Amino acid sequence: MQGTMVAGFDPTGPGLYYVDSDGQRTKGQRFSVGSGSLYAYGILDAGYRWDLGVEEAIELGRRSIYHATFRDCASGGTVSVYHVTKDGWKKVRGDDVTELHFQYYPQPELHPANATEVLA
């Protein structure tokens, strides 16, 4: 099953929808779509607050997409973040996942994927 997110503004204010492969629309506050979406949701659920500022929300989006692409090889290698307002949309970030990986985890041994212990 495939899906997409649609964001925009109308006379009633901002709107965000998930549209599935059958055309069903679901309105919500935040969504993650695709094979890596469960990884992204883990970051979104941990970091989302109603009072996030724009820069905080952009960084949360970057981090969420990074984790989805790092853990799921079918999710691609670029993190693209857009800011949608009543005046239109603007692409605010376009980052390579490898560069983000070394930005977020400059010491590879500190990455969560390396934090496993042998269970006795």
Tens of pLDDT along 42-93?
A: 999 999 999 999 999 999 999 999 999 888 878 888 899 999 999 999 999 9
Could you give the CA distance from residue 30 to residue 83 in angstroms, rounded to a whole number? 14
pLDDT in the model for residue 21: 87
* CA separation for the pair 87, 83 (Å, rounded): 10
Dist CA 81 CA 48 (whole Å)? 16
pTM of the predicted model, to two decimals? 0.82
pLDDT of residue 117: 63
d(CA 32, CA 97): 17
What is the mean pLDDT of the segment spanning 113-117? 65
pLDDT tens digits, residue range 9-25? 999 999 999 998 899 99
